[in-house]
Structure formats: C-alpha cells, structure tokens
Amino acid sequence: MTSAKDREALWRPEITPLQFVDLDRVEQIEKECYGLPWSRAMFAGELIKSSSICLGAFRLERVIGYLIVSLFVDDWHIMNLAVDPAWRRRGVAGQLLNDFLARSAGGRERGYTLEVRKSNEAAIRLYEQFGFKARGIRRGYYLDDYEDALIMWRDNSPEPGNEE
C-alpha cells in the first residue's frame, strides 16, 4: 500500500523555466483565473527579460501552473501566480514558490513583494505560509472593480554580523 507521502511524490509536478511554446496553455489558465487576464504580449515580455524568472509547473508535459517574478532594483516582485483550477490545493503553488526562492536565494536583494486582492484569502494564506506579511494597502488598485490590494513583503534576513 502506498503512503500519502508516496502518492504526493507520484503526482508532484516538474518545475522548469517557461518557454514561448508553453504560452497557449498559460493563456488558457490565465483566462480561467483572472477577470483581467494578462495578454500574451505581457507574458512574452517577461520571458525575454533577463531580470525575470518565469517558471512553469508541468504534469505529463502539460502546464498546470506558473509563476512570474521580476527584479526591480533590489526587490523581487511576484507579478503573476496561477494554478489550473483542476490542480489546486495539491501544493503546486507552494512548489513553484519553493523553487523560485531556491533559485533567488543568496542574492543581495532586500526581499520579495507582491500585491494581492484583499478578498483573495487562498493566496493571502499561501503567501503567509511563505513568510510574507501585509505591510500596506493600495486603494482601488484593480481596474475592473477597484478592489483594494494588500501589499505583502518578505524580507531577506540579514547575514549574521551584517545587520543594519
């Protein structure tokens, strides 16, 4: 009999950098997830930026989730994160974030930030699990319904002996 841990390992997605060829599927998921979906040009713009990390979660070579993060000066900005509704609550977003944090670890950046709808409890809980804390509000940030955005931050811990 397989344990819950074995079963999790069996379906665990592969996390690799997104390619242009993945964008048809990414666009499909994007439209299912957001009222104001990103355009293909927005995704393509991130793929060609040397300051962005664009990761896909793949199950049997099919995209089931993605994470787009961009470096602005000395902060990483989480620009987009979405998981196919059929694959939610199985740790896919968590694995994307873990993989990204491992890739970006060790840099001199101050930390990580993002905006999230105030009503998006699922995402807020996810980010809290990863050490993000609410630090402010952008009033009327979302252009479809003018919902407020919560601004969340996760600081990089200073190196021992290097605290300001």
Ligand X SMILES: CC(C)(COP(=O)(O)OP(=O)(O)OC[C@H]1O[C@@H](n2cnc3c(N)ncnc32)[C@H](O)[C@@H]1OP(=O)(O)O)[C@@H](O)C(=O)NCCC(=O)NCCS
Is 163 noted as a catalytic residue in this protein? no
Residue owning tokens 């793929």: 47
| Strand segments (E) across the chain | 14-17, 52-59, 62-72, 75-83, 111-117, 133-138, 149-155
Q: What is the rounded distance in angstroms from the CA atom of residue 3 to the CA atom of residue 79?
A: 36
Site for ligand X contains 54 (CB under 6 A): no
Site for ligand X contains 33 (CB under 6 A): yes
| Site track for ligand X across 63-92, x = CB under 6 A | ------------------xxx----xxxxx
Is 112 noted as a catalytic residue in this protein? no
Phi, psi angles (nearest 5°) of residue 10: -65, -40
| Closest C-alpha among 108, 120, 115 to residue 132 | 115
Task: Tell which one of 23, 71, 101, 126 touches ligand X (CB under 6 A).
Answer: 126
Site for ligand X contains 134 (CB under 6 A): no
Select which of 115, 141, 142, 147 is catalytic: 115
Q: So which residues are the catalytic ones?
A: 115, 127
What does the binding site for ligand X look like in residue numbers (CB under 6 A)? Answer: 33, 81-83, 88-94, 114, 116, 120-123, 125-126, 129
